[in-house]
Amino acid sequence: MSRIRAFLAMVVVGAGVATAEHWWYAYEATTYPEEAGWGRFVAEGGALRSLEDGALIIDSRASTSIYDEYLMYMPSPPGPGEVFLLEFGLRVDEVIGFADPCMSMSFAPSAEASLWFKAHQIYSLLECCCIADYTPGVFHDYALTTSGLQTYALFVDGQMVHEGALFSVCSTSRVLWGDCVIGSASLSAWDYVRFGVVPAPQPGDVNCDGTVNFADINPFVQALADGDAYQQMYPGCWPENADINGDGSVDFGDINPFIEVLTS
């Protein structure tokens, strides 16, 4: 009990809340991607597009020869102790043909993951297989991560659903997304696309600045009180960094372990 009281005393003294910002680029669908710095590449004039309720709607169902894709080059691959994180919110309403839309990330010269969306499944182009299911017609939060540029992990709505190999021969480091597949068409809505590097997961580094110190106290309290609000305040931060005892949830059982890592 004395440790909990001491912890609460530290919270009262407090460290100022500072939002962690790791993104190299963050598109939030308040304007069209090309107006936010993304390169746009189209065929047959591109898809029908609109901005509705904070999402970019892409409708290429008029022709399977249409593509309408967006590209952003990366400054550099992740360094030692860093994890590359690509997050996007996507709703796939209809797929005509094999698969569409798509999301891919590549690191020159030889690391790439490319995901295509079938009617109910996610297809890995380079692995030539379906790697996960998704529910059409609703938004899902997706994340792709890699640290050593050998393998990647795919998360859907916060749950890891696949680990796969990064492989290909690519001349550029970039993120590419949108209606990318010739011969297929789709109706999709994109809520956000953002990517950058974050420090590797570390228990207690609740603001994800790479160190465990008093600046993590207020973020830990936020994660303890309201996990959704914490994720909005610290986008890209690892939720498990606040789960100090590793039991799968952030609760009062993490307070004493947090104090241990904070004061060690």
Please tell me the predicted confidence (pLDDT) of residue 9. Answer: 46
pLDDT tens-digit series, residues 41-65: 999 999 999 999 999 999 999 999 9
Q: What is the mean pLDDT of the chain?
A: 86
CA 37 to chain centre: 19
Mean pLDDT, residues 141-157 taken together? 91
pLDDT tens-digit series, residues 73-112: 988 777 777 889 999 999 999 999 999 999 999 998 889 9
124 touches 112 (CB < 8 A)? no
Mean pLDDT, residues 110-127 taken together? 96
Tokens standing for 252?
A: 């009062």
- Classify domain 23-199 by CATH number: 2.60.120.560
Q: Is pLDDT above 70 for 29?
A: yes
Please tell me the predicted confidence (pLDDT) of residue 23. Answer: 63
Please tell me the predicted confidence (pLDDT) of residue 154. Answer: 95
Mean pLDDT, residues 24-34 taken together? 93
Q: Which segments of the chain belong to CATH 2.60.120.560? A: 23-199
Q: Which of 30-44, 141-155, 180-194 has the lowest mean pLDDT?
A: 141-155
64 touches 97 (CB < 8 A)? yes
Please tell me the predicted confidence (pLDDT) of residue 15. Answer: 39
Please tell me the predicted confidence (pLDDT) of residue 14. Answer: 40
**pTM as predicted:** 0.77
Please tell me the predicted confidence (pLDDT) of residue 13. Answer: 42
